[in-house]
Structure 1
C-alpha cells in the first residue's frame, strides 16, 4: 500500500513537472512571437512613415507655387518614394472683363479656368478630385470625350450695335463634341452623353437625337491639341427654342471650386443676370499642352458667362454703371483656391478719360490684342490687399461724361438671315454675309443645318456678290431623310472686299403627322442658326505663342497667323410656319360622336331592356271605406 502511494506521488510529481515545462515553453514561444510581431509592426511603421511624408509633401507641392523653394525641397524626396497613384496638380483662375459699349449698355464677361495635369485616357482610374468637378471628369472618362463644348443662351447678340463677343454662341442650346478615335458606336455614345449632360445642367439636351444632330466636315475643328480630323467622331446639335433660367445657372455655379460663395462668382446673382438683354453661359473642355514643347497634356475646363445690361431696361435713367447696380453685390475677396483673380475694364475708347470716368482708378494697365484690335484694359488684382478700400469692398463705377452715344467701328465680318416667300408650301432662305474690310477679301466657311421637314432644293442654290455669281470653292451636302436626319450644307465662299454676299436656297414645307406637331403648332417651327467661321485679316500683329501668361478672354482662339484672327459668328434662328391642321376639328368630331352615341344607343338600349307593367288607378276614399266594411261582414270587396 505504501509502495503504491509512493508510486502515485512520484507519478504526480512527474506529471506536474511535465506540465510546468510545457507551460514554460508555451509562454516563451508566445513572447518570441510577440517580440517578432512587434518588430514587424515597427518595421511596417518604419516603411510607412516615409510614404506618409511623401503624401504630405505631395499635398504641399500642390498648394504652393511652382517656383517656391518649399516645393523644390519637398518634390525631391517624392520622386524617390514610389506612390500608388498619379500626382494631381491643378490650377484655377478667374477673371471678369467689363466693356462699356457705345450705346450706353455694359458688357460683362466671366471666365473661370480650371487646369488639371492628368490624363483620363491612359487607363488610370482617377478617384480624387480637388478643383476639377468630378461629374465632368467621370463624363470624360466614361464616354471617351476628347472635347466638349456646351452653351445655353437667352437672347440674340446684336453684332452691329455691340461688336464681336469674346466667345460667340447661338440662341438656345448648342453642343458639339469630339470623341476619341477608338469609340466604335459614336451614335450610341452621343445619345447617352446628351442624356447625362441633360441631368447635369438641367437642360433639354435629352431631346437631341439623330433628327437634329449633324456631322460637320470642316466647320468645327478641335480647339485643343491633337490632329483629330475624322469628322465621323464629331457631333453637333442645337436646340434654338431652349429657354435658359435659374435652373440652368445653379448647377453651372456648383461646378466652380468656390461655388458662388467667394471670389468673382459672388456677383452671379440670377435675379440681375436674367434681367438683361443677353445672357449666355458655356462650358468648354479640351486637352491643352503643359509647356511650349507639348510633351505632356493637361485638361482645361473653361466656364464662361456673358451678359449685356441694357441702359433703358435697367431703369436707371442715366449713363452710369457700377458693380452694385449691375449685380446688387460688390467684390470683397478673391477665391482662396484661385491662383489668379483679376478684373479687367476696357478703357480703350476713353484712354484719356474724355468719354467716361472710372472709379476707383488703378495704375495697372494692360494692352492686349483682342479680335484683331489692340485694346487697353485697367487691371484690378483681387489677390492684392491694396485693391480694396478701407471698407474691404471693391465697387467699380463707370460714369459717362456725356449722354451722346458714340460711334462704333463696324465689325469686319457680319451675317444675318431671313425667310422669304409666300404661302405655306414653298419658301426661300436668304443668308447675307458682310465683308466690311475696305481692301481685303477673305474666305468664310458657312454651315447650314435645316430640319428634315424643310425639304431643300439644292439645285436652286445661288451665291451672288456685287451682282455677280460667286462660285464656292468647297461644298459638302448631306441630304436629309424623313424622320431620320436633317440637311447639312457646308460651303467655302470667298467674300470680296467691302461687299455683301447673299446665299439663297429654296425649300418646300412638309406635312407632318398629327402626333409630330408641338403642343403649340401655330407658334411655328425653328431652324437653327447658321454658323460662319473665318480667318479675318487683322491690322495689328498677334503673338502666336499661346502658352505665355495672358488674359483668359484673349487666349481661347489662338491665332496661327500674325495677319489674321479666327472669328465664329452665328445668325439669328428662323421661325417658319408649317401647314397646320385645325386641331379643334377632332374635338368637335369627338363631341358630336359622343352625343350621337349617347342619344341613339341610349334610347335603343332603354327600349330593349325596359319592362312595361299596367298599373291600375287607386280606388277612392268612399270605395276603400266600403271595402273595409264588406271585409268585416265577410262579403267580397267591390
Structure 2
C-alpha cells in the first residue's frame, strides 16, 4: 500500500513536470545588451528583454462582460498580463525618461520613445459593454500603480488621438468594432529607482542572473540620459510580444581619473555577468566596434564578429563576463568640435517660446534638413489648454522667405478650457540643406488659483513635439527591418503663466492670527485674572520667595497667615 502511494506521487510529479514544460514551450524569453560607443566619448547601452506568448491573441473587448479564459503564465509577468486582459489592450507603449536625447551627437536611439517625461499610448478596440475612455482611465491608473509612477495625471486634459504620427507597430485583430488610439504625455514625470524596482520584478530572473544583473540603480541613474520602456504588440504569425527595455548614455571619460574613454562592464555598472538566466532561450551581449582609425582592443575574445559587431554568448558554461574596450595608445580623449563634425541625425529640431509678458507669446519651430534631398515629415504638437494657438498667424519661412507650399495636411483640434488639450498635426516639406521655420502667436490662459501646481512660480512643463521623418508614405516612418517607427522628440519647454502672489494669503493669515491672539488674550486676561495688593513686611529678615517672584497670594492663604 505504501509502495503504491509512492508510485502515484511520482507519477503526479512527472505529469506536473510535463505540463510545466509544455506550458513553458509556448513562452519564449530572450535578452540582449547592445553597447555602442559614441563619437563624443560616451557609450550607449540598450538592455532588451523580450517575451513571446506563442499562439496567444489580445482579448476581444466585446467579450469583457463574459468571464475571461484562464491565463497560465510561466515566464510572462502575471501583473502586466492581468492589466492587458482586464482592459482588452491590443497594443501598449509606455516610456519613462530623464534627460535630453542629443540626436545630432548621438544619432537615432534603439527605442524611439525618448521624449522627456512619461509617455503612454495604446491601441484598444471599441466595445458596447465598456467604454473605451473608461478602460483607458483604468489602464493608466493600473500602470501607475504597477510602476509607482504618476500616470494617473494623464487624464482628459492630456489625452489625444494623433493617428497620423502614432501608427500601430503590430497587427490589429479584426474585432467587431474598430480600434482607437489614445496618447498622453507628462513632461514632469521622470524615471527613478522606485520605477526600476517594479520593472525588474517583471523579469523571470529578476536581477539575480543574466544580463539584468548589470541593472545597478546607483550607476544607471548617474547616466547623462536614461529611460525605461514597456512595449506590447500582437504579431499574427507569433502571438503577443512583450519587450522591456532600458536605455542609458554613459560617460566613461567622466568616470575616468585620467580623462580616458576606456570602459568595461564593471566600470560602467560596478557589476559583471556572473551566470546566465536559466529560462532565457538566448542571451547575448553585442558591442559595436569603433569606426575611428585609433587602434583599440576588446577583451575577452568575442564569440563571433560580423559586420563590425562583436557578439558574446551568455550561457551556462560561462563563469563571469566582463567585456572591456580600450584604446591603449590614447593618452586622453579629445572631444570633437561640434562645428567640425556633421550631425548624425537627418533632421535637427529646435523649439522656442518667446514673449515678454504673461499674456501673449510667439511660438517658433526650426527644422533643419541635413540631407541633400527633399524630405517630408509629419509634425505633431500636443499643447495643454493653458496655451492657445492663433492658427491664422501660422507662417512658414525658408531663409527668411515666406513659403506657403511647405505645410500641408493640416489638422487642428482646438482645446477646451479646463478640458481637452490642443492637437496640431501637419505634413512638412523640408527642402534639401535648408531650415524651415514655423512661427505662430499663442495666448497664455489665466488659471484659477486652485489649478496651480505646488511649485507655481517654477512654471508649467510643456510636452515635447514629435516629428516622424519620411512619414505619410505608408502611414508611418518605419525603421527598415525592425517594424518599429522612428520618431524625433524635441526638448520640453517651460512656460511662465500669470501666477498670483501666493505669499499674500500667508501674510494675511499670520497677521489675522496675531491680531486675534492679542485681542483674545487681553480680553481673556481681564475676565479670568484677579489683581490683589500684596503687602510686604519690611521688618522681616528673610524675604518672601513668593513676593520676590512677583506671585500674588490668594485670599485663602492671607487669612491663614493672619
**Normalised TM-score (structure 2):** 0.83
Shift of 1:57: 4.5
Q: Deviations over 1:362-419 (max 9, x none)?
A: 361233xxxxxxxx3111111374xx4xxx2221111134334465653112322121
Q: Who is 1:99 aligned against? A: 36
Number of equivalent positions: 509
Which of 483, 492, 495 is residue 557 of structure 1 equivalent to? Answer: 483
Q: Which has the higher contact order (CA 8 A, sep 6+)?
A: 2
- Rounded to whole Å, the distance in 2 between the matches of 1:114 and 1:349 is 33
Q: Who is 2:549 aligned against? A: none
Q: Who is 2:70 aligned against? A: 126
- Rounded to whole Å, the distance in 2 between the matches of 1:308 and 1:256 is 22
Preserved contact between residue 413 and residue 536 of structure 1 (Cα < 8 Å): no
1:196 matched to 2:136? The reply is: no
Q: Deviations over 1:126-149 (max 9, x none)?
A: 331101000111111110101111
Q: Who is 2:324 aligned against? A: 397
- Rounded to whole Å, the distance in 2 between the matches of 1:102 and 1:462 is 37
Shift of 1:570: 0.4
* Secondary structure in 2 matching 1:233: strand
1:282 matched to 2:229? The reply is: yes
Preserved contact between residue 343 and residue 380 of structure 1 (Cα < 8 Å): yes
Shift of 1:429: 1.9
* Secondary structure in 2 matching 1:193: helix
Comparing 521-530 and 219-228, the one that deviates more:
219-228
Which of 131, 156, 160 is residue 210 of structure 1 equivalent to? Answer: 156
Shift of 1:583: 1.3
* Secondary structure in 1 matching 2:394: strand
Shift of 1:522: 1.2
Alignment of 1:157-172 (within 5 A): 157-168=101-112, 169-172=114-117
Q: Who is 1:294 aligned against? A: none
* Secondary structure in 1 matching 2:391: strand
Preserved contact between residue 413 and residue 422 of structure 2 (Cα < 8 Å): yes
Larger radius of gyration: 1
Alignment of 1:19-30 (within 5 A): none
1:305 matched to 2:246? The reply is: yes
Q: Who is 2:263 aligned against? A: 321
Which of 477, 489, 502 is residue 583 of structure 1 equivalent to? Answer: 502
- Rounded to whole Å, the distance in 1 between the matches of 2:480 and 2:268 is 24
Shift of 1:195: 1.1
Comparing 248-257 and 507-516, the one that deviates more:
507-516
Alignment of 1:532-547 (within 5 A): 532-535=467-470
CA distance 1:469–1:131, shift in 2 (3 Å): same
- Rounded to whole Å, the distance in 2 between the matches of 1:616 and 1:91 is 96
Shift of 1:620: 10
- Rounded to whole Å, the distance in 2 between the matches of 1:302 and 1:238 is 20
* Secondary structure in 1 matching 2:79: helix
Preserved contact between residue 415 and residue 433 of structure 1 (Cα < 8 Å): yes
Shift of 1:289: 2.6
Shift of 1:119: 2.7
Which of 357, 368, 391 is residue 434 of structure 1 equivalent to? Answer: 368
CA distance 1:443–1:503, shift in 2 (3 Å): same
Q: Who is 1:425 aligned against? A: 359
Which of 162, 165, 171 is residue 219 of structure 1 equivalent to? Answer: 165
Q: Who is 1:462 aligned against? A: 395
Preserved contact between residue 463 and residue 503 of structure 1 (Cα < 8 Å): yes
- Rounded to whole Å, the distance in 1 between the matches of 2:173 and 2:432 is 32
- Rounded to whole Å, the distance in 1 between the matches of 2:490 and 2:388 is 20
CA distance 1:154–1:430, shift in 2 (3 Å): same
Shift of 1:602: 5.7
Structure with greater proportional helix content: 1
Q: Who is 1:180 aligned against? A: 125
CA distance 1:359–1:618, shift in 2 (3 Å): closer
- Rounded to whole Å, the distance in 2 between the matches of 1:121 and 1:219 is 25
Which of 252, 261, 277 is residue 199 of structure 2 equivalent to? Answer: 252
Q: Who is 1:515 aligned against? A: 450
- Rounded to whole Å, the distance in 1 between the matches of 2:533 and 2:240 is 99
Shift of 1:501: 1.5
Preserved contact between residue 102 and residue 408 of structure 1 (Cα < 8 Å): no
- Rounded to whole Å, the distance in 1 between the matches of 2:520 and 2:537 is 42
CA distance 1:214–1:120, shift in 2 (3 Å): closer
Name structure 1 gaps, 5 residues minimum. Answer: 1-41, 64-87, 291-296, 368-375, 538-545, 547-552, 559-565, 622-638
CA distance 1:315–1:347, shift in 2 (3 Å): closer
CA distance 1:377–1:606, shift in 2 (3 Å): same
Q: Deviations over 1:417-464 (max 9, x none)?
A: 1211212221122122221111x2121111111111112212212222
Shift of 1:274: 0.6
CA distance 1:598–1:399, shift in 2 (3 Å): same
- Rounded to whole Å, the distance in 1 between the matches of 2:486 and 2:512 is 61
Shift of 1:612: 9.4
Shift of 1:313: 3.4
Which of 353, 373, 377 is residue 309 of structure 2 equivalent to? Answer: 377
1:330 matched to 2:272? The reply is: yes
Q: Who is 1:364 aligned against? A: 304
CA distance 1:308–1:593, shift in 2 (3 Å): same
**Normalised TM-score (structure 1):** 0.73
Q: Deviations over 1:150-178 (max 9, x none)?
A: 11111111111111111122111111111
- Rounded to whole Å, the distance in 1 between the matches of 2:304 and 2:443 is 59
CA distance 1:620–1:576, shift in 2 (3 Å): closer
Shift of 1:120: 4.4
- Rounded to whole Å, the distance in 2 between the matches of 1:619 and 1:320 is 90
Name structure 2 gaps, 5 residues minimum. Answer: 473-477, 539-562
Q: Who is 2:462 aligned against? A: 527
Shift of 1:616: 9.3
CA distance 1:268–1:486, shift in 2 (3 Å): same
Shift of 1:305: 0.6
Q: Deviations over 1:472-498 (max 9, x none)?
A: 221111111111111111111111111
Q: Who is 1:76 aligned against? A: none
